[in-house]
């Protein structure tokens, strides 16, 4: 399979800010491709070897959170989070960037998922009561313009009640506007409509969570 080998010497830094960088990938003579990324040059996906590519960690973790409550059918936990580029509260899954310290843990994806769920929902995952597993170790968001990636984690919470549920743990620029606990019928409705109850579009990770939930693959 013919492709292009891109070395660090063929990468030009266009923008280098704390949370975003833009690189010009000179993939052949006179040809350029731009990559918007969170990663510094020494961790850029385009210049990784095949082995480095196959073993790399994602930038963030998105969570499919299933809630089991006494006497109720399993429900998918979503929330409305303000997404600045969209300028609206969008129906979202709990998610967040992988901290540098997470990468040293035995299971970096699970560690990130547990922390983000606590920050965004107030719920402390009890690994003796609940379960945490990896659905997919790394999914590229839009590889036509960025190398950003998310792992997909499954977290099944077995709760007595929802007393812990809160969005008071939001950090930095995070802004939330309530939760949605939905059953299978509602999930199918959202999938068919392609928008939430406000008529707003949602992210591909929300779509993936809805699909994983209604397909029963989480069981």
Separation in Å, CA 205 to CA 32, 71, 149, 202: 30, 29, 11, 8
Question: What is the pLDDT, as a whole number, of residue 2?
Answer: 64
Which pLDDT score is estimated for 1? 54
Find the length of the chain.
Answer: 219
Largest CA distance in the chain: 65
Residue ranges of domains in the chain, CATH in brackets: 8-55 (no CATH), 60-214 (3.90.79.10)
For residue 48, with 0-12 CB atoms within 10 Å meaning exposed, 13-18 middle and 19 or more buried, which class applies? middle
- Splitting the chain (219 residues) into consecutive groups of 10 residues, what average pLDDT does each group show? 82 94 92 94 95 97 98 97 96 96 96 97 94 98 94 98 92 91 98 97 97 97
**The pLDDT value given to residue 172:** 78
pTM of the full predicted structure?
A: 0.93
Q: What pLDDT, on a 0 to 100 scale, did the predictor assign at position 127?
A: 85
């Amino acid at each position: 399979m013919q492709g292009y080998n891109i070395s660090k010497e063929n990468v030009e830094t266009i923008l280098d800010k704390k949370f975003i960088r833009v690189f010009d990938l000179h993939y052949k003579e006179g040809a350029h491709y731009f990559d918007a990324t969170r990663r510094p040059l020494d961790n850029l996906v385009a210049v990784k070897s095949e082995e480095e590519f196959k073993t790399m960690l994602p930038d963030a973790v998105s969570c499919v959170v299933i809630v089991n409550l006494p006497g109720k059918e399993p429900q998918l936990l979503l929330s409305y989070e303000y997404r600045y580029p969209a300028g609206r509260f969008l129906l979202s899954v709990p998610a967040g960037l992988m901290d540098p310290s997470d990468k040293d843990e035995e299971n970096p994806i699970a560690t990130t998922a547990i922390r983000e769920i606590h920050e965004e929902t107030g719920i402390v995952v009890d690994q003796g009561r609940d379960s945490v597993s990896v659905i997919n170790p790394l999914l590229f968001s839009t590889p036509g313009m960025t190398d950003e990636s998310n792992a997909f984690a499954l977290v099944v919470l077995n709760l007595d009640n929802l007393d812990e549920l809160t969005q008071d743990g939001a950090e930095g620029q995070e802004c939330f506007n309530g939760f949605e606990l939905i059953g299978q019928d509602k999930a199918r409705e959202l999938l068919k409509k392609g928008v939430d109850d406000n008529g707003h579009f949602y992210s591909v990770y929300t779509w993936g969570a809805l699909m994983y939930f209604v397909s029963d693959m989480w069981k």
